[in-house]
Each structure stands twice: as C-alpha cells, then as structure tokens.
Amino acid sequence: MTSTTQTRFSVGVMTRIAILAAAASILFLLEIPVVAFYKLDLSNIPVLLGAFSMGTVPGLIILGIKSAIGLLHSSSAGVGELADFIMGAALVIPASLIYHRNKTRKNAIIGMAVGTVCMIIAGILMNKYVLIPFYMGAYHMDMEGIIRFAKVAFVDSEWKLLLLITGPFNLLKGVVLSIVAGLIYKPLSPILHGKIR
C-alpha cells in the first residue's frame, strides 16, 4: 500500500486535517465574481496542501468537512456543495495520486494539470446534469432564462454556456489553485508534515 492509502491518523494528522478544513471553510466564504454567475474561491488550496502532505484520503476528508460546513449557509439546498465536492475531488484525487507516486515538483505540476482537466470535465457535467436543472426548477426558469441570467452576449445556447463559460472558468480556477498551492507548499511543508513542534 502507498502512503496515500496507508495514512496513519495520529493526533497530529487529525489536528492538521482540522486546521486545514477550518482554513478551507473560511476561504469558501470568500468569493470573487468572475464571469456570468460563476465566482472564484480559493477553498481548495488547503485541500490540495493536505492531500499533498498527508495523502489522498486526508485531502478528501478536508474537502468533505469544508463542503459539510458549507451546508450551514447553503443557498442551493446542498446541491451546490455536492457539486463543489465532486469538482474538488476531481482535482485533488489525480493531483495527489500522481504526486505521491514520486514526490517531485514535476509530478506535482503534472498531477495538478491532470486534476485541472478532470475538474473542467466534472464542472461541465455537473452544471449540465445537476446545477442548471436544479436552478431551473428552483427559480422556475427555462434554459433561455438561465442564459439571460448569465448576461454574456455571445452565449445563446446551453452548450455555449458550458463550453465557452463553464469550461474556461474551471480552467482558470484550476490554474489559480495550482499556482498558489505550488508556491506555498514548499515553505509550509514543515508545518504540513508536523515537523514543527
């Protein structure tokens, strides 16, 4: 078994999971409007840091705690938090698994690139089959209403919304998360690995 599946949940590991989950939950509240109704948040940075330092399972636990806490202020009856969890997992799982095969900067970059592609695909699928249908039902809108709500002149169909807005937004999100996590992982590594007492 690899270190990603054989994580020892000591008090130190659980403490670091709790701290990173708290940081992720706070960042989840801070959103930056980008395009249409999409907002960028940096809450998956602590998730990536946890997955890189402790393994895939602790990373998913941090992600799950963040999403569960997000339910307390959900405006989508938990649907948005479910989608966020799935898209976050699509980024974190491949990124951490590839990195833990050989812990090098190159593998971290490859892992986050693969994870970003997976997040783009997951984002498009979640929007098409979960989020857009939910908002259409919740706000009694048809697809034309959703497109008008997006307020993007060149978008006039669902697939244009998904491929020209959703996809590029998740690409931007993946790139931003990867760059920030990549820049701060090394300086924070002693703390993330519990080497500072």
Residue 86 CB-density burial (10 A; 0-12 exposed, 13-18 middle, 19+ buried): middle
Residue 168 lies in a domain: yes
Residue 6 lies in a domain: no
Tokens found for residue 14 = 């659980």
DSSP 156: -
pLDDT in tens, 66-98: 999 988 877 777 888 888 899 999 999 999 999
- When pLDDT is cut at 50, 70 and 90, the band that residue 195 belongs to is low
Average pLDDT over residues 148-160: 83
Residue 7: its pLDDT value, please?
44
Element (H, E) at 39: strand 38-40
Residue 196: its pLDDT value, please?
55
Residue 124 lies in a domain: yes
Q: Of how many residues is the chain composed?
A: 197
Residue 137: its pLDDT value, please?
86
Query: What's the mean pLDDT when you consider all of the chain?
Result: 88
Residue 153 lies in a domain: yes
How much of the chain, in percent, has pLDDT values that exceed 70?
94
Q: What is the CATH number of the domain that holds 155?
A: 1.10.1760.20
Average pLDDT over residues 176-196: 85
Q: How far, CA to CA in Å, does 61 sit from each of 48, 55, 91, 154?
A: 11, 10, 14, 39
Residue 44 lies in a domain: yes
How much of the chain, in percent, has pLDDT values that exceed 90?
55
Could you tell me what percentage of the chain is helix, strand and coil, using 3-state DSSP and rounding each to the nearest 5?
Answer: 75, 5, 20
* pLDDT for 152 beyond 90: no
Residue 3 lies in a domain: no
pLDDT in tens, 9-38: 788 889 999 999 999 999 998 988 888 778
Residue 155: its pLDDT value, please?
86
Full-model pTM: 0.86
pLDDT in tens, 104-130: 999 999 999 999 999 999 999 999 998
Residue 107 lies in a domain: yes
Rg of the chain taking only CA atoms, in angstroms: 17
Residue 190: its pLDDT value, please?
80
- When pLDDT is cut at 50, 70 and 90, the band that residue 141 belongs to is confident
Number of domains in the chain: 1
Range of the domain at 49: 11-192
* pLDDT for 1 beyond 50: no
Residue 197 lies in a domain: no
Which carries the bigger pLDDT value, residue 73 or residue 184?
184
